[in-house]
Amino acid sequence: MIEPAKLFQLSGGQKRRKLALTFGALERDIAGIAEKGTEYSFKNMPRAEYTRKITEILLQDPKLDKAASDELRRLLDEKPFDELRVCNCARNHLLALIGTFPAEWDLVIAPHESPVDENGVVKARRFYPGICVYAEDIRSPFNIGSIFRTAEGMGAEKVYVSPFCVDPEQPRAVRSGMGCIETMGYERVPLEALPEDMPVFALETGGTPIEEFKFPERGICIIGSEELGVSPQSLSRADYGRVSIPMIGLKASLNVGVAFGILMQKWVESLMRGERG
């Protein structure tokens, strides 16, 4: 955290970037998930007062438009004072001024029980052993990033990508992945190189409805390309079967990243309930 007087003395882009980082750190502190070393620590000033002071600094920015300014002033006047909402609105207005999307700016670190070292840095991520996904010929970098983000968040152990899948390290994929591609890592392998000792199933139409499907305790789920779905070769390799998400809409179509998120939620639910296929 930076003293308001020091923030006030900064100018232009530097001030905006420092303010955005400060509001982000405040958000995490308010939510109780501050990273080690970034906790609010000014003993002579309540955090709410600090939040008000740095918001007033932002309100003096000549590039802040009237609608944003009016919103922030209204939030400052509200009772009770909602620190978290003020910080979030201020940070997003700042990122708009900077010309950066929130997802490009930072990855909010959620609380977890992973082992940490003496500096509070996570030494190993938690996951469900043997829960894996095979991304077959995903073409969109945004989709592959979303798949990694879901896999990491829901506790998959590993992501495999096919030879013709988009590069997970493509900048748009990295941006969409919000740090999860670097966290998880991946292995690029052809279909025939998938582990022989694990059940393999496919997320595709024409299969067992997801509510009835018995998920394996360990296994690999194949998700197919945006345009063609899971290939015939992969459907043949899916010795454990095929699972489908029932839909009633006219299009009956889901984005592959959204469909994978639904599947992972159901898979994890089955593991938590102790169900075994």
pLDDT at site 99: 77
DSSP conformational letter for 79: S
pLDDT at site 277: 56
- Distance CA(93)–CA(65), nearest Å, equals 9
The enclosing domain of 141 has a CATH number of 3.40.1280.10
Query: What would the pLDDT profile of 39-66 be if each residue is shown by its tens digit?
Result: 888 888 999 999 999 999 999 999 999 9
95 and 179 part of one domain? no
DSSP, collapsed to helix, strand or coil, labels residue 129 as coil
Closest CA to 180 of 164, 166, 197, 168: 168
Report yes or no on 126 lying in a domain: no
Report yes or no on 123 lying in a domain: no
82 and 139 part of one domain? no
Query: What would the pLDDT profile of 250-277 be if each residue is shown by its tens digit?
Result: 887 889 999 999 999 999 999 998 865 5
Report yes or no on 112 lying in a domain: no
96 and 173 part of one domain? no
Residue ranges of the chain with per-residue pLDDT less than 50? 104-113, 120-122
Cβ neighbours of residue 269 closer than 8 Å, sequence gap 6 or more: none
Number of H helices, E strands in the chain: 11, 6
Closest CA to 87 of 21, 42, 34, 37: 21
Answer yes or no: are the C-beta atoms of 147 and 168 closer than 8 Å.
Answer: no
Report yes or no on 58 lying in a domain: yes
- Distance CA(40)–CA(29), nearest Å, equals 7
145 and 216 part of one domain? yes
pLDDT at site 43: 87
**For the chain, how far is it from start to end, CA to CA, in angstroms?**
51
14 and 93 part of one domain? yes
Answer yes or no: are the C-beta atoms of 136 and 231 closer than 8 Å.
Answer: yes
* Model pTM score: 0.65
pLDDT at site 25: 86
| Tokens found for residue 75 | 């939030």
